[in-house]
Homo-oligomer: A and B are copies of this chain.
Amino acid sequence: MTTALIYLDPDSNLNLQAQIRQKMVEAIMLGTFPEGRRLPSSRKLAEQLGVARNTVVLAYQQLVDEGYLLSRERSGLYVNEKIRQDRVGYQSKLTQRSEMSAKWRQRFKGSLTPGQDFHCPPNWQQYPFPFIEGQFDHSLYPVKEWREASRLALGIKEINDWAGETGEVDDPMLIEQIRTKILPRRGIQARPEEILITVGTQQALYLVAELLVDSTVAVAIEEPGYPDMRRLLAQRGAPLVYQPVDEHGITVDEKLDGCQLIYVTPSHQTPTAVTMSMERREQLLAKAAEMDALIIEDDFEFESNYLTQPHPALRSIDTEDRVIYMSCLSKVLAPGLRLGFMVAAPEVINEARKLRRLIVRHPPLNNQRTAAFFLSLGHYDTFLMHLHQIFEERWIALRRALNYYMLFYVEMAPAQGGTSLWVRGPEDLDVKYVAEEAAKRGILIEPIDHYYATSNAPKNCFRIGVTGIPHNRIREGVLQLRQLFHDLTSNKTETFATARGEHLTGEALVDALQNKTMMSVVAYGEPCTIEICSGGELVGKAGFADEDEDSGKWWIENECWHRQWQRWAWGETGIYDVRQEGDVIKLFDQDGWLIDRYIAQVETSGAENAN
Contact = CB atoms under 8 A, between A and B. Distances in A.
B165 A154 contact: no
Contact of A338 (B202, B294, B360): B360
A26 B176 CA distance: 11
B14 A162 contact: no
A289 interface: no
B367 A364 contact: yes
Give the one of A13, A22, A231, A361 with max B CB within 10 A: A13
A505 interface: no
A13 B173 contact: yes
Contacts of A364: 199, 336-339, 363-364, 367
A173 B212 contact: no
A260 B104 CA distance: 12
Give the one of A12, A335, A336 with max B CB within 10 A: A336
A351 B111 contact: yes
A357 B202 CA distance: 8
Interface string A266-295: 000000000000000000000000000010
A480 B214 CA distance: 54
A72 interface: no
Contacts of A114: 354
A93 B319 contact: yes
Contacts of A13: 161, 171-173
A212 to B, nearest CB: 6
A395 to B, nearest CB: 20
A138 interface: yes
Contact of A90 (B66, B93, B189, B200): B189
Contacts of A260: 107
Contact of A228 (B100, B228, B358): B358
A351 B108 contact: yes
A34 B594 CA distance: 72
A210 interface: yes
B159 A138 contact: yes
Given A112-B354, A150-B154, A338-B362, A14 B173 contact: yes
Given A335-B165, A336-B366, A213 B109 contact: yes
Interface stretch (A141-149, A244-252, A413-421): A141-149
A334 interface: yes
Interface string A31-43: 0000000000000
Interface in A398-426: none
A128 B70 CA distance: 55
Nearest to A154: B147
B163 A138 contact: yes
Contacts of A357: 202, 228
A22 B319 contact: no
Contacts of A330: 165
Nearest to A161: B13
Given A89-B189, A154-B150, A321-B100, A112 B163 contact: no
Contacts of A150: 150, 154
Contacts of A141: 159, 163
A377 to B, nearest CB: 14
Contacts of A389: none
A336 B100 contact: no
Interface string A146-181: 110010001010011111111000011100100010
A135 interface: yes
Contacts of A104: 321, 345, 347-348
A558 interface: no
Interface in A95-123: 96-97, 100-101, 104-105, 107-109, 111-112, 114
A526 to B, nearest CB: 34
Contacts of A143: 154, 156, 159
A131 interface: no
A203 B203 CA distance: 12
Contacts of A354: 112, 114
Contacts of A66: 180
Give the one of A210, A337, A338, A339 with max B CB within 10 A: A338
A14 to B, nearest CB: 5
A360 B364 CA distance: 12
A376 to B, nearest CB: 9
Contact of A22 (B159, B176, B363): B176
A359 interface: yes
B347 A173 contact: no
A495 interface: no
Interface in A59-105: 66, 87, 89-90, 92-93, 96-97, 100-101, 104-105
Contacts of A359: 199, 202-203, 206, 359
13 contacts: A12-B172, A109-B212, A109-B213, A162-B336, A163-B336, A199-B364, A206-B358, A206-B360, A228-B357, A336-B365, A338-B360, A359-B359, A364-B364
Interface of A: 12-14, 18, 22, 25-26, 66, 87, 89-90, 92-93, 96-97, 100-101, 104-105, 107-109, 111-112, 114, 134-136, 138, 141, 143, 146-147, 150, 154, 156, 159-166, 171-173, 176, 180, 189, 191, 199-200, 202-203, 206, 210-214, 217, 228, 231-232, 235, 260, 294, 316, 319-321, 330, 334-339, 345-348, 351, 354-355, 357-367
